[in-house]
Chain A
């Protein structure tokens, strides 16, 4: 908002609450543009279906708006978003139970993966390897899979710990053991 807008609002007698809310909404949309894809990846990997994923995302960012309006802590909103999305997914009936047949698995079996421009044999090998890796990820414990997915979205161990309500050392162990199992598959 430009200073001229602020003055116009003051002239119109609009209160500071409106000005703050406008600023909060803009911040929410900035975070949406930046984080909706990593959040969707995480939710889909949890086994949330597409429709629920969309609804959880909407609800997550509406809660961010409420959080900002209430003067909530803004020190790490990215981790906050993942935590809220995680909790919303956990509350939904379908999440955490459909991980083996989720949309990600459907996409894999339907051969929707990007080929990368390699030869046909290389493509097939890469696709086969990716499918195996994906299946192996579904065999991990929920905590290991969640830690690995959050890690892949760039969260630090202490942030993952905050999202999943685990200790930082437990996050490290889950990542370590998860990688160990996936390495064996490959």
Chain B
């Protein structure tokens, strides 16, 4: 209903719903205090809206307590279990957001020089001859490497399978069983799982196979 020189019903409804533009709000605020007719119509909108709310609320029973319990159970059933760190080849498969090939190439480029440097700087930290120096992650044994922040949590996607130069491992005193002269040749590399911390630094290495 449009009333000349008065606010339209549309404006009054949107004023009640706080849906006016700045310009409309100025118009309504300027008009409403001085117009008894529009104030009454505004009051009617408020009253009708209140009744509608009452009607909608009236017939709705309270939720059953076990509805919430059922939701909790279903959420519990669907939730992400504390995932064990994947080992060996499965770790690479869990690299979901990067293609395995791209990841291997990229990480090899990034970490092989760093790994070599770290191994050569700290030869005593990595040795398969001393079991006490190793640590286990869900059944997979890693030789520890210098790590920037040991408090960071370890998570599954950060184990990558890659080729590590034998020279780097040898300089760190990592020996293989059985010892093979061919395998220990300085120009060879070995397949290894490298555990990478969340800060991007290598945390440990586990030699998988010698080529």
Which residues from chain A sit less than 8 Å from chain B, CB to CB?
9-10, 12-18, 20-22, 25, 28-29, 32-33, 36-37, 40-41, 44-45, 50, 54, 57-58, 61-62, 65-66, 69, 103-108, 112-114, 129-130, 133-134, 137, 148-149, 151-153, 156-157, 172, 175-176, 179-180, 182-183, 186
Contacts and interface: CB of A to CB of B under 8 A. Distances in A.
A96 to B, nearest CB: 17
Given A36-B67, A179-B48, A186-B51, 7 more contacts: A13-B84, A15-B153, A29-B75, A57-B67, A151-B17, A151-B49, A175-B13
Q: Indicate the member of B56, B84, B154 with the most A CB atoms within 10 Å.
A: B56
B185 to A, nearest CB: 36
A45 B153 contact: no
Contacts of A58: 67, 70-71, 74
Q: Secondary structure of the B side of the interface?
A: helix
Interface in B16-50: 17-19, 44-45, 48-49
Interface residues of B, number: 48
Q: Indicate the member of B49, B60, B72, B153 with the most A CB atoms within 10 Å.
A: B60
Interface of B: 1, 9-10, 13-14, 17-19, 44-45, 48-49, 51-61, 63-64, 67-68, 70-72, 74-76, 78-85, 137-138, 151, 153-156
A156 B57 CA distance: 19
Contacts of B13: 172, 175-176, 179
A62 B68 CA distance: 12
Contacts, number: 140
9 contacts: A16-B155, A20-B80, A25-B79, A40-B63, A44-B60, A130-B51, A130-B54, A133-B55, A179-B45
Q: Indicate the member of B79, B137, B151 with the most A CB atoms within 10 Å.
A: B79
B63 A17 contact: no
A90 B63 CA distance: 22
Contacts of A182: 48, 52
Contacts of B1: 180
Given A69-B80, A172-B19, A179-B48, A32 B68 contact: yes
A41 B74 contact: no
A168 to B, nearest CB: 8
A38 B73 CA distance: 22
A64 to B, nearest CB: 10
A15 B155 contact: yes
B52 A157 contact: no
Nearest to B52: A152
Given A69-B80, A182-B52, A29 B71 contact: yes
B14 A149 contact: no
A104 B80 contact: no
A148 B76 CA distance: 36
The 8 lowest CB-CB distance pairs between A and B, nearest first, are: A107-B59, A14-B82, A104-B59, A15-B155, A21-B80, A10-B153, A18-B82, A152-B53
